[in-house]
Amino acid sequence: MMTDDIKEILVSEEQIDAMCKTLGKQLSDDYRNNDKPPLVIGLLKGCVPFMTSLIMHMDIQIELDFMVASSYHGTNSGDVQIKKDLNCSVKDRDIIIVEDIVDTGKTLKTISEILSVRGAKSIVIVTLLDKPERRVTDITPKYVGYKIPNEFAVGFGLDYNEKYRNLPFIGVLKEEIYKDGD
Ligand code: IMP
Ligand code: MG
């Protein structure tokens, strides 16, 4: 079973569910009086479970779009590349970027700069997890689910070599899994 590979649970299913409710309500309240629906941009693929739950807890009009940025190979971060771009314009839009985890902040730094150059009216970041110890950029997510220590997390969208995204909680893998991997 996939769960046999987990050493420790960092954030439980119940905690994630409660956090998605809280953040969804907060975002709804913050954008309720907006003239135009905010554009919620998910960074694939890690955003999928979090974004799904989050937007179901938003009771205001929103629009969705997606981007794919890649920076991670195994557990080492590298340069950020846009692999799939948005379908719609961000000009004069209020943008809410949804991310699974902010680590070094390089991905969000690159994406925020691109959206800003394209004329976004405002840009905020909502992330399920934050590893502030690892930051090497000036990126500060406005909405954070959970701050976690400097450990490699998997589950609820977060992967190790594309696996474990479908775990319903956030956990840390046993050491032997990394040894067996690539
Ligand atoms: P950053 O650009 O260094 O902030 O990295 C952001 C991306 O790295 C995230 O969207 C994740 O895909 C990946 N990442 C960073 N830390 C972890 C982790 O602990 N587990 C799984 N993926 C991670
Ligand atoms: Mg990833």
Digit-coded pLDDT (tens) for 82-99: 999 999 999 999 999 999
Q: How far apart are the C-alpha atoms of 117 and 81, rounded to whole Å?
A: 17
Where residue 78 falls among pLDDT bands split at 50, 70, 90? Answer: low
Predicted TM-score (pTM) of this structure: 0.94
Any idea what the CATH number is for the domain that residue 56 is in? 3.40.50.2020
pLDDT at 1: 93
Residues 145 and 23: beta-carbon distance below 8 Å: yes
Q: Which ligand 1 atom sits nearest the alpha carbon of residue 110? A: 2
Residues with CB under 6 Å of ligand 1 are 46, 71-72, 77, 99-107, 152-153, 158-159
Looking at the chain, the whole-number percentage of residues with pLDDT higher than 90 is: 91
pLDDT score of 74 more than 70: no
Instruction: Return the CA Rg of the chain.
Output: 16
Choice among 5, 94, 100, 103 that is catalytic? 103
Ligand having the closest approach to the CA of 135: 1
- Number of domains the chain is built from: 1
Distance from the alpha carbon of residue 104 to the mean position of ligand 1, in angstroms: 8
Q: How far apart are the C-alpha atoms of 90 and 111, rounded to whole Å?
A: 12
Distance from the alpha carbon of residue 27 to the mean position of ligand 2, in angstroms: 24
Does the annotation mark 92 as catalytic? no
Distance from the alpha carbon of residue 49 to the mean position of ligand 1, in angstroms: 15
Q: Domain limits at 87?
A: 2-178
